[in-house]
Amino acid sequence: MQLVLEFLALPFVQDVLKILFILLLFAMPLGTFMTLMERKWSAAVQDRIGPNRANIGSYRGRGLLHIAADALKSIFKEDLIPKGADKFLYTIAPFFSFMSAVAVFAIIPIAGPIGDFKFQVTDVQPGLLFIFAITSLGVYGAVLAGASSNSKFALFGGTRASAQMISYEVFLGLSLMGLFMVYGSTQVSAIVEGQGEHWFGLIPKWGVFTQPLGFVVFFTALIAETKRAPFDAPEGESEIVAGYFVEYSGMRWSSFMLAEYIAIVGVAALITTLFFGGYQVPWLYHWESAPQWLVTLLQFGKFASFTFIFCWFQIQIRWTVPKFRFDQTMALGWKKLLPVALLNTVVTAIIIVALA
Amino acid sequence: MREYLPILIMILVGIGLAGVFTAISILFGPKLSTETKQTPFESGFLTQGTEGQRYDVKFFMTALVFLVFDVEVVFLYPWAVQIRELHWPGLIAALFFISVLVLGLVYDWKKGALEWE
């Protein structure tokens, strides 16, 4: 027993446990659930019933079994590599997509710290900047997949994806500038800590209230980064079929799809953490005698429910807003979001310096 | 540097998971390859020409504009974090910097580097 406790106290073991927890028990299950929820919710929006046929005997679980059915189906699909494709690049392209989708969760705190123990995989000082540096490698996933498939449609998709993703990265970084100013740090724990305070003991100091413009730009840029509708010109089902991963099949294709749905969860978790107080439960400080375990549980509940709401919100956006043409996507970015983000930065800076 | 190790592990886990998926596909997928199946998808038409032809110069322009703006944004981060300590002198310097940035944007705009029609 003693030995087990000592083993669990090792920093390296704790890191691995935290990573396995947040990936295998939070991000991946929620991501796979999103695949079903997207279909179910799109059905609800279009007044259909949606998938409900997969069954074990008479048990159908309201379509839940479709997740397992999908997985089984893609496992036993033929693994095709088109003629003339660059096999090595073709194989490693999904790795980039998957890695960049997963890396976000390294800095997301899912509950408040207890003493020295943080419910966060790591709390590096450059925080968000470091993570954006890694997630921007996701561009390679789309570009390599497009370039290595030896297919014109894939190449079109890959080229579009590269232009769109690098463009929206600029606005992504710029929209957070105001947030860094308000909370005076790029470290995620400091930003979340700062959002735990209240104005007049009433309104929580969430990022969405201190940086409303930043929130809009950031959310838009993140949706464009995940290449989801309304910014899905790189995947454009109606013109270039599936864009950069048109030649992929079986589990290789699944890793692209799963990466996309994990990225949805990642986006929701980032929005919650940066603009909706993360794990901070508003007004909880009034209840001073609350037991620690209950506080932690409430914090995790708040974080998880907000994350789920924003996952749903992204799906709702996809099935509500008509998609942009590619030139409209780029024009929206460079001609609207960029000036707005710059203006937001300047105005925030002037207000903060004037008040300091 | 100790706290960067988990990020490395995280990346390796991500690559590992994708690797497992690919391996599953290679192991369990049937291999019934035919000539037609191997040809790249082209909406049911016969493949014409090869890929890797010329592409629009606008993609190249976008990459150039991105390079300028992204690097300049990076320069602003240290100022954003230290804004309260740097106070007015810092703000004036940053505003000058941003106005150069805006001039660049206006120039790109007028030159048509942002047009996609």
> Over the stretch A147-200, which tens digit does the pLDDT of each residue have?
888 777 888 888 888 888 888 888 888 888 888 888 888 888 888 888 888 877
- CATH number, domain containing residue B100: 1.20.58.1610
Residue A44 reports pLDDT greater than 70: yes
Give me the domain span that covers residue B1: 1-29
Q: Is A289 exposed, middle or buried (0-12, 13-18, 19+ CB in 10 A)?
A: exposed
Q: Which residues contact A77 (CB under 8 A, 6 or more apart)?
A: A249, A250, A251, A253, B25, B29
Is the same domain home to B75 and B115? yes
Q: Which of A96, A99, A164 should one mutate to test binding to chain B, selecting the residue with the greatest count of B CBs within 10 A? A: A99
Other C-beta atoms closer than 10 Å to the C-beta of B25 total 24
Is the same domain home to B66 and B115? yes
Which of these ranges, A1-10, A263-272, B94-103, has the smallest mean pLDDT? A1-10
pLDDT at B50: 63
Domain assignments of chain A as residue spans, ordered by start: 2-42+63-355
A94 to B18: CB separation less than 8 angstroms, yes or no: yes
Q: Which residues contact A76 (CB under 8 A, 6 or more apart)?
A: B28, B29, B30
What is chain B written as a DSSP string?
Answer: -GGGHHHHHHHHHHHHHHHHHHHHHHHHS-----HHHHSPP-TTSPP-S-S-----HHHHHHHHHHHHHHHHHHHHHHHHHTHHHHHHHHHHHHHHHHHHHHHHHHHHHHHTTT---
pLDDT at A117: 77
Q: What are the backbone angles phi and psi of residue B52, rounded to the nearest 5°?
A: 80, 30
Residue B101 reports pLDDT greater than 80: yes
CA-based nearest residue in chain B for residue A243: B41
Is the same domain home to B65 and B18? no
Q: How far is B113 from chain A (nearest CA, A)?
A: 10
Q: How far is A174 from chain B (nearest CA, A)?
A: 6
Q: What are the backbone angles phi and psi of residue A223, rounded to the nearest 5°?
A: -65, -40
In a domain, B75, yes or no: yes
Number of domains in chain B: 2
Residue B51 reports pLDDT greater than 60: no
d(CA B43, CA B63) in angstroms, rounded, equals: 30
In a domain, B50, yes or no: no
pLDDT at B44: 67
CA-based nearest residue in chain B for residue A93: B18
Q: How far is A334 from chain B (nearest CA, A)?
A: 7
d(CA A154, CA A352) in angstroms, rounded, equals: 47
A23 to B13: CB separation less than 8 angstroms, yes or no: yes
Spell out the alpha helix ranges (H) of A21-63. 28-45
Q: Which of B2, B15, B25, B37 should one mutate to test binding to chain A, selecting the residue with the greatest count of A CBs within 10 A? A: B25
B21 to A246: CB separation less than 8 angstroms, yes or no: no
**What's the pLDDT band for B4 if we cut at 50, 70, 90?**
confident
ipTM: 0.85
pLDDT tens digits, one per residue of A90-124: 888 888 888 888 888 888 888 877 877 778 878 88
pLDDT at A186: 85
Nearest to A102 by CA among B37, B9, B21: B9
pLDDT at A288: 76
Asked if the C-beta of B45 comes within 8 angstroms of chain A's C-beta atoms, the answer is no
Amino acid type, B3: E
**What's the pLDDT band for A308 if we cut at 50, 70, 90?**
very high
pLDDT at A226: 84
**What's the pLDDT band for A312 if we cut at 50, 70, 90?**
very high
pLDDT at A309: 92
pLDDT tens digits, one per residue of A320-342: 888 888 888 888 888 888 889 98
In a domain, B35, yes or no: no
A102 to B17: CB separation less than 8 angstroms, yes or no: yes
Q: How far is the first Cα of chain A from the last one, in angstroms, to the nearest whole number?
A: 54
Residues of A in contact with B102 (CB under 8 A): 342
Residue A12 reports pLDDT greater than 70: yes
pLDDT tens digits, one per residue of B8-23: 888 888 888 888 888 8
Local structure of A112: helix, strand or coil: strand
Mean pLDDT of B95-106: 88
Q: What are the backbone angles phi and psi of residue A269, rounded to the nearest 5°?
A: -65, -40
What is A131-145 written as a DSSP string?
Answer: HHHHHTTHHHHHHHH
Mean pLDDT of A270-294: 83
Q: Which of A12, A189, A342 should one mutate to test binding to chain B, selecting the residue with the greatest count of B CBs within 10 A? A: A342
Mean pLDDT of A141-147: 85
pLDDT at A255: 87
Mean pLDDT of chain A: 84
**What's the pLDDT band for A75 if we cut at 50, 70, 90?**
confident
pLDDT tens digits, one per residue of A219-229: 998 888 888 87
What is A146-206 written as a DSSP string?
Answer: HHHS--HHHHHHHHHHHHHHHHHHHHHHHHTHHHHHHHT-S-HHHHHHHTT-EETTTEE--
Alpha-carbon torsion B55, B59, B63, B68, what sign? positive
B105 to A338: CB separation less than 8 angstroms, yes or no: yes
Is the same domain home to B67 and B10? no
pLDDT at A155: 82
B73 to A174: CB separation less than 8 angstroms, yes or no: yes
In a domain, B68, yes or no: yes
What share of residues in chain A are helix, strand, coil (percent, to 5)?
A: 70, 5, 30
In a domain, B67, yes or no: yes
Q: How far is A93 from chain B (nearest CA, A)?
A: 10
